[in-house]
Amino acid sequence: EDKVVQSPLSLVVHEGDTVTLNCSYEVTNFRSLLWYKQEKKAPTFLFMLTSSGIEKKSGRLSSILDKKELFSILNITATQTGDSAVYLCAVKSNFGNEKLTFGTGTRLTIIP
Amino acid sequence: ETGVTQTPRHLVMGMTNKKSLKCEQHLGHNAMYWYKQSAKKPLELMFVYNFKEQTENNSVPSRFSPECPNSSHLFLHLHTLQPEDSALYLCASSPDRYQPQHFGDGTRLSIL
């Protein structure tokens, strides 16, 4: 059975700090890993990673995948209060189905 | 505005009621999904429809019955639910089964 473990479960930092969120996975025939941000309701898509060692970047957020060690990290630099959310990691296998397996998420709180 | 609209936003029902959740997407996507999000648990995939055909039923009890009349609309019919079915039900869509999924804001369901 596919499995995704995120750490830490929760994190509280001050505005301006840099944070690193972790996601490790076990999946049969890995296809891709995705990061989502969930504030109050709809998870919103951040990144999709398919290749090792290639950093994806969007503003202050960046993410990288290590397919050998089976993990990904999400970095947020110069955090702002608007970054407070639950960050979800999910993996998709390559068996031709559409199933995304999600982790339980990391709850990030940014203190002004 | 995510392009995926779910109604109602909140629903309270008794265990013997019959109700339906509705999802509509204006993104021209061909795949649609139902997820269940319970407190402190990962998002759980329930059903997948690809070009209106159901391609995945993730061992969901028969008291949940999906319907996909066209690629833009997805319903979840509810009947004789249990208290443990109280959760946030999220709908998502994607252009095809390989692309990132876009989520609606969800229906918060409470079973009395």
Return d(Cα B32, Cα B78) in angstroms, integer: 18
pLDDT digits (tens, 9 = 90+) for B60-103: 999 999 999 999 999 999 999 999 999 999 999 999 888 899 99
Contact (CB<8Å) A43/B45: no
Those residues whose C-beta lies under 8 Å from the C-beta of residue A46, and which sit 6 or more positions away, are A34, A35, A36, A37, A58, A61, A63, A74, A87
pLDDT at A41: 83
Return d(Cα A71, Cα B112) in angstroms, integer: 41
Return d(Cα A56, Cα A65) in angstroms, integer: 9
Nearest to B49 by CA among B67, B28, B62: B67
Contact B37, B108 (CB under 8 A): no
* The pLDDT of residue A95 is above 70: no
> Which residues of chain B does A96 touch, with a Cβ-Cβ cutoff of 8 Å?
97
| Closest Cβ–Cβ partner in A32, A44, A102 for B43 | A102
The whole-angstrom distance between A49's CA and the closest CA on chain B is: 11
pLDDT digits (tens, 9 = 90+) for A64-94: 999 999 999 999 999 999 999 999 999 998 7
Return d(Cα A109, Cα B36) in angstroms, integer: 24
Give the whole-number percent of chain B exceeding pLDDT 90. Answer: 79
* The pLDDT of residue B106 is above 70: yes
pLDDT at B83: 93
Beta bridge partners of B54: B49
How does residue A6 score in pLDDT terms, banded at 50, 70 and 90? very high
**Helix or strand or coil: residue A81?**
helix
pLDDT at B1: 66
CA closest to B99 among chain A residues: A48
> Which residues of chain B does A34 touch, with a Cβ-Cβ cutoff of 8 Å?
100
> Which residues of chain B does A36 touch, with a Cβ-Cβ cutoff of 8 Å?
103
